């Protein structure tokens, strides 16, 4: 059975182009042109993933994200002409899983969809995360690199575990600070940068060329999805 994709976009040419491209890849494509119609389609058709424009005629796409997150964990990929960091941060904070700026390449969109769908299939509470020789045992709170134990402070471990259990997803500065340190620290971005730098020195093979704790400039950080 093919996976179902809901495209919410008010531009007819974008809807048509995405439907053709998605169907060519074996997906079933549903279309909606307003936020309200999109919310109704999610409830009625239960898509596997949502592709969402921010500039909708009846409501902002970020508000659609927030409404969906009240009752659904369906992966959401935002497509938008808005490329300002504040717009990306706002959409991610409201519940989007990924953000792609128009114009975009179909190949990149399909790759991001595959990653989001793969994450959605993964078992919640994955006991071990292993990547690039790093092994994080979430049950035992132990971290090893190439069979060598790595000693982390409790805060460093909490930061690493939060990123690793959301691998492939961009986490904004505010999300991370709220989760690891508490809501009163949400503005302390420099504080977070110091901890990320410390953590990179401990877990990266080359802290100057990180492959595990990736910076999303002006937005936040991402632990990469498994290849």
CB of 90 within 8 A of CB of 54? no
**Token couple for 1:** 């059975």
Say what the pTM is.
0.68
| pLDDT range class, residue 141, cuts 50, 70, 90 | confident
Q: What is the mean pLDDT of residues 8-37?
A: 94
Mean pLDDT of the chain: 89
Query: Is the per-residue pLDDT at 123 higher than 50?
Result: no
pLDDT in tens, 155-202: 999 999 889 888 888 889 988 998 888 888 888 999 999 999 999 999
Is the domain 4-121 a CATH 3.30.565.10 member?
no
Confidence at residue 1, expressed as pLDDT on a 0 to 100 scale: 60
CATH topology of domain 128-222: Arc Repressor Mutant, subunit A (1.10.10)
At residue 126 the predicted structure's pLDDT band, cuts being 50, 70 and 90, is low
Q: How far apart are CA 78 and CA 107, in angstroms?
A: 15
Which among 194, 195, 212 is positioned nearest to 203, based on CA atoms?
212
Residue 10 and residue 32 in contact, taking contact as beta carbons nearer than 8 Å: no
Distance CA 106, CA 7 (A): 14
Residue 210's pLDDT band (cuts 50, 70, 90): very high
Torsion angle in degrees (nearest 10) through CA of 83, 88, 94, 98: 100
pLDDT band at residue 227 using 50, 70 and 90 as cut-offs: low
Domain ranges of the chain: 4-121, 128-222
CA angle 200, 203, 205 (to 5 degrees): 90
């Amino acid at each position: 059975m093919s996976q179902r994709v809901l495209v919410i976009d008010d531009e007819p040419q974008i809807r048509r182009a995405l439907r053709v491209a998605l169907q060519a890849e074996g997906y079933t494509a549903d279309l909606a042109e307003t936020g309200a119609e999109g919310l109704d389609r999610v409830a009625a058709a239960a898509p596997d993933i949502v592709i969402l424009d921010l500039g909708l005629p009846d409501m902002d796409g970020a508000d659609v994200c927030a409404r969906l997150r009240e009752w659904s964990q369906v992966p959401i990929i935002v497509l938008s002409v808005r490329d300002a960091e504040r717009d990306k941060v706002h959409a991610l904070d409201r519940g989007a899983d990924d953000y792609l700026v128009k114009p975009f390449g179909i190949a990149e969109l399909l790759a991001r969809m595959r990653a989001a769908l793969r994450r959605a299939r993964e078992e919640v509470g994955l006991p071990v995360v292993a990547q690039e020789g790093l092994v994080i045992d979430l049950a035992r709170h132990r971290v090893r690199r190439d069979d060598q134990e790595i000693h982390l402070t409790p805060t460093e471990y909490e930061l690493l575990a939060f990123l690793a259990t959301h691998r492939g997803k961009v986490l904004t500065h505010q999300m991370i600070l709220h989760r690891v340190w508490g809501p009163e620290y949400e503005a302390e971005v420099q504080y977070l940068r110091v901890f990320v730098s410390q953590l990179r020195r401990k877990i990266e093979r080359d802290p100057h060329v990180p492959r595990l704790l990736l910076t999303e400039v002006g937005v936040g950080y991402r632990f990469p999805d498994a290849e």
